[in-house]
């Protein structure tokens, strides 16, 4: 790993990170502020009037506690899509654009192996993802403590976010794998981003009707069961471990591809 390259990439991309921090601050603070146990009945009435729309976004049950509310309204869609968009952008900036423009030669001209460059760019990507999730945790806990007397079960909340991290580690490693495997951006980013977006759409469709619920088995998002993780369900824990394992597999394959393939220099 090259610390010089790591610092340079962060210096070049920190503004993008801050933009996503601002977006998450806006959405999460608004959602937390919306919580009111007395609104549960009203939200249920809205869900009954538009069942398919609420079901698509995983918002059919507001729950009885603050943690239930946040799980339904943040971890079903918002905290999936926002980091995913960040991952798409960063995979392009850290790897795909270098290969597409032929400027990877400048990085390879340094006294570092291809594997070192691969790991360095990957660390920039994953550190950003971790930063977004950690910030999200701190922000939600901070907003909750300031706005409400009700406290969140910290252990359950943290376990939910470990599962969320597993989801985004998988998406990040898969997008990074495709970014390292193709020369043209439309393929290197298009495939990785396409899998992420299609996964979200499939999950939304599977929640709309029992007749197409089977579609959930065609998306890796099924492996993230926030409510199951909160009660330490064994199957949910195994699925979470599976996401991290898939991420490692993608990283290994990506490193092998990047180290051996011919690059347009």
The ranges assigned to domains in the chain are 3-36+83-260
Concatenating the DSSP letter of every residue in 103-154 gives: THHHHHTSSS-HHHHHHHHHHHHHHHHHHHHHHHHHHHHHHHHHH-SPPP-H
- For residue 83, pLDDT over 80 is answered with yes
Q: What is the pLDDT of residues 210-222, one digit of tens each?
A: 677 777 788 888 8
Q: Report pLDDT for 103.
A: 73
pTM over 0.95: no
Q: Report pLDDT for 7.
A: 92
- For residue 57, pLDDT over 50 is answered with no
| Percent of the chain topping pLDDT 90 | 42
Q: What is the pLDDT of residues 46-56, one digit of tens each?
A: 555 555 544 44
| Distance of alpha carbon 216 from alpha carbon 172, whole angstroms | 20
Mean residue pLDDT of the chain comes to 84
Nearest to 35 by CA among 119, 150, 117, 122: 150
Q: Report pLDDT for 56.
A: 47
- Average pLDDT rounded to a whole number, residues 185-208: 83
| Distance of alpha carbon 200 from alpha carbon 197, whole angstroms | 5
| Distance of alpha carbon 209 from alpha carbon 53, whole angstroms | 11
């Amino acid at each position: 790993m090259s610390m010089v390259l790591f610092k340079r990439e962060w210096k070049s991309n920190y503004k993008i990170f801050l933009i996503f921090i601002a977006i998450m601050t806006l959405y999460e603070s608004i959602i937390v502020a919306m919580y009111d146990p007395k609104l549960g009945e009203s939200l249920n009435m809205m869900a009954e009037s538009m069942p398919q729309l609420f079901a698509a976004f995983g918002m059919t049950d507001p729950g009885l506690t603050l943690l239930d509310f946040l799980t339904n309204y943040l971890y079903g869609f918002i905290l999936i899509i926002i980091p995913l968009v960040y991952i798409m952008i960063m995979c392009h900036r850290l790897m795909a654009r270098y290969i597409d423009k032929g400027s990877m030669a400048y990085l390879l001209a340094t006294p570092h192996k291809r594997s070192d460059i691969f790991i360095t760019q990957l660390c920039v990507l994953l550190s950003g993802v971790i930063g977004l999730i950690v910030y999200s945790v701190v922000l939600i806990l901070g907003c909750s403590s300031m706005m409400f007397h009700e406290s969140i079960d910290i252990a359950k909340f943290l376990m939910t976010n470990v599962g969320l991290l597993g989801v985004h580690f998988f998406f990040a490693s898969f997008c990074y794998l495709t970014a390292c495997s193709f020369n043209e951006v439309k393929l290197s980013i298009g495939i990785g981003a396409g899998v992420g977006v299609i996964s979200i759409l499939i999950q939304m469709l599977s929640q709309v009707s029992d007749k197409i619920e089977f579609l959930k088995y065609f998306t890796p998002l099924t492996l993230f069961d926030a409510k199951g993780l909160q009660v330490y369900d064994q199957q949910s824990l195994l699925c979470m471990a599976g996401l991290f394992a898939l991420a490692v597999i993608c990283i290994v394959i990506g490193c092998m591809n990047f180290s051996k393939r011919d690059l347009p220099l």
